[in-house]
Structure 1
């Protein structure tokens, strides 16, 4: 049997897989700490204790059957240890926004061009390198104590095995990793005042990181010497769990943020709108656009306007509001990443009149999120990537109305994989490949991840949505200057 762990921002989930099927799922929840506005932190020990608790419950009755563990993890977070392997401070997370000054320095002085050439990305507040620069400037004493620099999932690997390692898919989101050379960028390490001795050994996602330590083995109850596989960043692992691994595959992930992720054979660098370029787990690459508020926007809407109602009630309202309606929503509740890259952008309803009701605004909200995802998709196609298949994952993929809307707005067939826990299952697949149960990701994913459902575009809706999408694209340029002053 094999285990996949998914270390998230608000929970740690794990699945137990036997003969390719999930037979048990366990989870533990926690919350990020917000010590100041725009800050987001977590104590790595919270992750560790959550993992031990989850694994202990997960393997009960199967202690003698576990062969290996794969780990998926939230990306970009900064974990730092001192010479005694003690955590120096809480981890700064992917959604921590405090590094505006460091981002400006990197993009203007180091230059976007150099960053793109070496890493495939410009600096944004979520990435790891700006956090190191902030730490050096604002917590010098902590910075000077750094002996090891880790990403979140790699801390769990270290606690399980004692091995200081990482892998390409996660490191490629750090902004100090050379995407084409698959090594650390010496120039960017110099800028950060760190050296390679402080950084983990680079593995491939499916390589064995190490064997579980005896004290952990006894605590959890494992009988065998369980192997721990290097794993991957959450987006890459979720793509594996959705069978999005071949050139031309595209995944639309409807989580708190929305992600449009395309797989390519070679790295594609976006020098105009700065879509993210990362390594994938199978020696391929990822081009990725991010809408910061996707299901998160829906959650905000429910919390404030449908407090005592369900998400189904929201979508029942949506189907009673006509597509032809003229209300639009810009989903910039947390600023926006791609394709506009504007942290000052604000969420906005446009086009309301006395005739409009809550159902019209609900439709506008889901349409606005989907239009934002479509703009990332269009940019991917502008870079001459031939999309052959689209899959939709995440919590939003369970809603048929939203999935049909995506098919109509994208004017493309979309597939829903038969896999509710794509990140953890992707990690479990990696654990199996690491022990040669399957020879490749292609073989494993084709055998283990069937398609649950397909949605085809409604031709009448396609035309209506296209007209609205053209209008939607005009709104941000018209409002941009006002977002700077409100």
Structure 2
């Protein structure tokens, strides 16, 4: 059996599958995010361990599976977060997360140095790891002076699991310290941000072993000796492995807390001026292009919170049939924005509200606003040379048929809904564990899922959505 552990922002999900990739069970445990100042987002890494153990207990109880048969573990996780450790592997401060905007000034200064875009292939975004450490150096110098290692969130779980300081290519590409084309840490970029190579973890590919499970954890969970822990992947690359998005031209859309438009590529083709991320894939010799929206399903969650209902109820409020855009326009920049704006200071707006505006109309506007933000991302991906012809849909927001119809029409692309509820990052992590333990090839393991439904653009509303997208873009500038 093979275990996938996905460390998300809102919770830890664990998934168990057998050697034939049949899912035997899954469980999850929630996590909270603290916001000590506006625009900040932090988590205590100790909470990740507590949530992982809670999810594993629930998995064993619900599935009835004997974890003694587990042969490998794969890891997936939220990207860009910084876990600063001292020489005894003690956490120096709460982890600064991917959606934290405090390091905007530091990111701007690093991005102004031409070597960052030239070597990393990407803009230095405020949410990336490197500017967070520069912020620490400037605002918490006593802590920065004690930093012996910097780990990404899932790699802190790996340290707990194996005792090893290891990262893998897809997650490392989101730090602004990786030579992304050559898949290695860049001494030049590290030095430019005040870091040293010895503060970085060892690098492996996502489908390679990174260590073995510590004996005390194996005994606690009833597992055998020598359980392999695979390199794993950042959450989006892991989702791609789970979805079989491992060939050029394949793509998916993730409608989770954040929104992601992902396209696999066989060549390293950076285009940082488009604000598209070009990162290593979790598999050797592969890269991917990715546009990111910082608040996707989170925007509907926010509206649900302030109006006293649930996101599911809001998603159903407009009814089953796609409507033309109404009088209200929503800009979904509740946490700033990555692609295509690269502006952590952007903020959300409702425009066109009147005394007669209803909650259902506001919900419709939020879903449309996120759809138009995805359309902006698709334009940016095409500028960077990626042009998917259809997109698989994942994430909690993908359970809304109305939202997917709006996205398909805004992007003028078919949206494919896969069968099964277990596809995603945890499943991709388990697949990476399977490859690390067996040495099986990508072609053998990473099959594309069966499709349950195809949602096509509404031809009758295509022009109305295109017109509103033009207005959305003019308001976003």
Task: Give TM class, smaller chain.
Answer: over 0.9
**1:183-233 deviation line (CA, Å, top 9, x unaligned):** 111111112232212211110000011111111111222134211111011
**1:343-373 deviation line (CA, Å, top 9, x unaligned):** 2323222234555433333222211110111
Cα contact 1:273–1:341 (8 A) shared by 2: no
For residues 129 and 238 of structure 2, what CA distance do their matches in structure 1 show? 19
2:91 to 67, 71, 87: 87
For residue 273 of structure 2, give the secondary structure of its aligned residue in structure 1.
Answer: coil
1:451 alignment partner in structure 2: 451
Which is worse superposed, 38-47 or 371-380?
38-47
Shift of 1:474: 1.9
For residues 314 and 217 of structure 1, what CA distance do their matches in structure 2 show? 43
Give every structure 1 segment of 4 or more consecutive aligned residues whose post-TM-superposition deviation is greater than 6 Å.
Answer: none
2:52 alignment partner in structure 1: 51
1:298 to 297, 300, 303: 300
The alpha-carbon distance between structure 1 residues 54 and 378, as it changes in their structure 2 partners (threshold 3 A), is: same
For residue 446 of structure 1, give the secondary structure of its aligned residue in structure 2.
Answer: coil
For residues 309 and 100 of structure 1, what CA distance do their matches in structure 2 show? 32
The alpha-carbon distance between structure 1 residues 426 and 453, as it changes in their structure 2 partners (threshold 3 A), is: same
Shift of 1:296: 0.8
Alignment of 1:45-124 (within 5 A): 45-59=46-60, 61-108=65-112, 110=113, 113-124=114-125
Alignment of 1:57-456 (within 5 A): 57-59=58-60, 61-108=65-112, 110=113, 113-282=114-283, 283-305=285-307, 307-308=308-309, 311-317=312-318, 322-323=323-324, 325-353=326-354, 356-421=357-422, 422-436=424-438, 438-440=440-442, 442-446=443-447, 449-456=449-456
The alpha-carbon distance between structure 1 residues 234 and 356, as it changes in their structure 2 partners (threshold 3 A), is: same
Uncovered stretches (5+) of structure 2, i.e. residues with no partner = none
For residues 71 and 14 of structure 1, what CA distance do their matches in structure 2 show? 10
For residue 274 of structure 2, give the secondary structure of its aligned residue in structure 1.
Answer: coil
Cα contact 1:321–1:360 (8 A) shared by 2: no
For residues 69 and 35 of structure 1, what CA distance do their matches in structure 2 show? 34
Uncovered stretches (5+) of structure 1, i.e. residues with no partner = 478-486
For residues 439 and 21 of structure 2, what CA distance do their matches in structure 1 show? 10
Shift of 1:126: 0.7
For residues 257 and 309 of structure 1, what CA distance do their matches in structure 2 show? 18
Tell me how large the CA RMSD over aligned residues is.
2.0
2:35 alignment partner in structure 1: 34
Which is worse superposed, 170-179 or 9-18?
9-18
The alpha-carbon distance between structure 1 residues 320 and 180, as it changes in their structure 2 partners (threshold 3 A), is: closer
Query: TM-score of the superposition, structure 2-length normalised?
Result: 0.93
Which is worse superposed, 39-48 or 64-73?
39-48
Shift of 1:92: 1.5
For residues 464 and 81 of structure 1, what CA distance do their matches in structure 2 show? 52
For residues 83 and 270 of structure 2, what CA distance do their matches in structure 1 show? 28
For residues 11 and 392 of structure 1, what CA distance do their matches in structure 2 show? 20
Cα contact 2:170–2:281 (8 A) shared by 1: yes
Cα contact 1:65–1:224 (8 A) shared by 2: no
Query: TM-score of the superposition, structure 1-length normalised?
Result: 0.92
For residue 317 of structure 1, give the secondary structure of its aligned residue in structure 2.
Answer: coil
Shift of 1:472: 2.1
Shift of 1:73: 0.8
Which is worse superposed, 293-302 or 311-320?
311-320
The alpha-carbon distance between structure 1 residues 361 and 209, as it changes in their structure 2 partners (threshold 3 A), is: same
**1:52-100 deviation line (CA, Å, top 9, x unaligned):** 3323443464132111100001111111222222222222211222112
The alpha-carbon distance between structure 1 residues 202 and 418, as it changes in their structure 2 partners (threshold 3 A), is: same
For residues 309 and 130 of structure 2, what CA distance do their matches in structure 1 show? 42
For residues 393 and 400 of structure 1, what CA distance do their matches in structure 2 show? 12
For residues 105 and 339 of structure 2, what CA distance do their matches in structure 1 show? 20
Which is worse superposed, 92-101 or 425-434?
92-101
For residues 327 and 56 of structure 1, what CA distance do their matches in structure 2 show? 46
For residues 159 and 270 of structure 1, what CA distance do their matches in structure 2 show? 36
**1:235-278 deviation line (CA, Å, top 9, x unaligned):** 11112222222111121110111111111121232243321111
